[in-house]
Structure 1
């Protein structure tokens, strides 16, 4: 076995700190500083893009053909669309999430003059006033408003508070860490993935593990709006694994226990060879796993490919119940993911042709092709996959 022991308490401590640090897309400076501190504490040097996407490289035997692990620091949130005549705020979502899960949420509004607390409410929020109309009200962002916990009876009052159109609204996570291993919170997507990565890195550092190539630990800041890993991939990277949430819902095969390996998302299949390597590592290291396909989902991998990065990509996930809503996960999945990352990091490179960005067909990968493979066998006989 090549998997390493994971410091479970450290992983949960980091997750709790991350959840308590608001970071809706567009307001991630504070969480970037926290993760930078953790990476430096673990012995790595952090490189940062202008906007705050992060790269920390753990050196291996060689730098070309490097491997990358990526998760995102940003979460869902909202933004002030209008200051309403009744003193409340019209909102638009940051990221794709339903107003159904916004109703009743406690929030923080970040303004140039400081912060204000508030609650997102349906337009008809009083049962004593609207009676059954509360139950028949439609769902949608145009049907909710943010009530500020300050003197704000009309638009002029709101203006005096210093609240402006475009101000960022963070949604309270309300985390609960239960004794049976379940964790319930908003924003587990993808702060749980960040905690998994840091726990895996700590295991590699504690063990002094040697890796065949450099491992790039990447953290992005705009995945929820589709930007993701589009600007943090270097030319040294040959393969990249995204760590994010899987969806445990009817019609899906994801699970709150073990690793869920995504075979495809809405952008198409993940790399054939990399996903199968991950499956083999799970089998060899007795890590529980299952496979799934996501139809309405994309991750940091998609943005990297769309930006033109020529890297093999895969997605490993922790099963989340009620994703982008009131989310629930289990620590078993987090530990399993961290173990898989360590096993992958120390595993040998099988596709040595990937050390170069481009080369000839010698050493190029092969997939089972049935009859077509038999017909072409004289042509490809000398082009076996290098081990």
Structure 2
């Protein structure tokens, strides 16, 4: 099973460098749509702004849907302080210490952009001494220092910055010679890249697939309702392609594709999970099975919203999830291989 690794990495880098915090995802959705368009794959947008692409199969009644999400962590201007610093509120779930010192861009409602840095209020050790380390990292104590000459609230507002403006984190994308991909927002832009690599393989090789397959590119996953609606009507199976979390007590790593058995929403479909495992085994795909106690996916959101289909979750292993993330090209390869094998699988007893 040969596919275009270079395409996957190049597209992923482009997508990672396209800001898309939840609520501000139009550019990322349009970038993905352009890729589907270039492959000749039909797409449409949902009312919520998600993107659905479809490749027709021999069986149009028993459809498979794979999902990935372009929305990421980010922030929003909450308050402009009297000294010209900015307080912000989180978009998505992350610890404030994981963004301390990060370079950011504020995008105004008029699409003007201003850079800055996230800092603790007591950042200077020479001024605050031990308080620099002991100050709690929370919404009250974190602030943004703008790279503009601003001395008060009025100076900031003159720039066009207002409460509600989106804040983008610098992804700092780096692909190493050893095959590691270091970046913020690999959750889930690595999964999106695997999906597009899958599509490119199917289209370039002119492969006829047994069942119609949809690709649901969601834009509200990080806040819990990405695929909670608008899933294609004939979907009988829904598999989220999202990152696998690494850490103590976890089986996942940066080199395998992970098949999730259970997360905070409960168990995934047992029969579908076993089929995914067998597909990995039969196709010599390196895989792990894991459980995530602090995790939810578009598949679980879709089922919770009333979806009547089998649901599953697979994805590349991502270290330091929702922080300074890292994966490896081998994990992306194994994820793409399993996506392809799953799409090519014919369901005999429906």
User: TM > 0.5 between the two?
Assistant: yes
Partner of 1:363: none
TM-score by length of 1: 0.89
Matches within 5 A, 1:108-127: 108-113=105-110, 114-127=112-125
Partner of 2:69: 72
The answer on 1:54 being equivalent to 2:47 is no
Partner of 1:367: none
Partner of 1:146: 144
SS in 1 for 2:77: strand
TM-score by length of 2: 0.98
The answer on 1:326 being equivalent to 2:321 is no
Q: CA deviation at 1:217?
A: 1.0
CA offsets, 1:212-242, max 9 Å, x none? 1101011000100001111230220000110
Name stretches of at least 5 consecutive residues in structure 1 with no aligned partner.
353-387
Partner of 1:105: 102
Aligned counterparts of 1:188 and 1:77: Cα–Cα separation in 2: 13
Q: CA deviation at 1:49?
A: 1.1
Matched length: 349
Contact 1:111/1:168 (CA < 8 Å) preserved in 2? yes
The answer on 1:95 being equivalent to 2:92 is yes
Contact 2:75/2:91 (CA < 8 Å) preserved in 1? yes
Contact 2:68/2:240 (CA < 8 Å) preserved in 1? yes
Contact 2:214/2:232 (CA < 8 Å) preserved in 1? no
Matches within 5 A, 1:1-387: 4-113=1-110, 114-352=112-350
Superposition misfits of 4+ residues, deviation over 2 angstroms: none
SS in 2 for 1:64: strand
Partner of 1:361: none
Aligned counterparts of 2:249 and 2:139: Cα–Cα separation in 1: 27
Name stretches of at least 5 consecutive residues in structure 2 with no aligned partner.
none
Aligned counterparts of 2:314 and 2:48: Cα–Cα separation in 1: 26
Q: CA deviation at 1:281?
A: 0.3
SS in 2 for 1:119: strand
Q: CA deviation at 1:43?
A: 1.1
* Cα-Cα RMSD: 0.9
CA offsets, 1:314-343, max 9 Å, x none? 000211111000001111010101011111
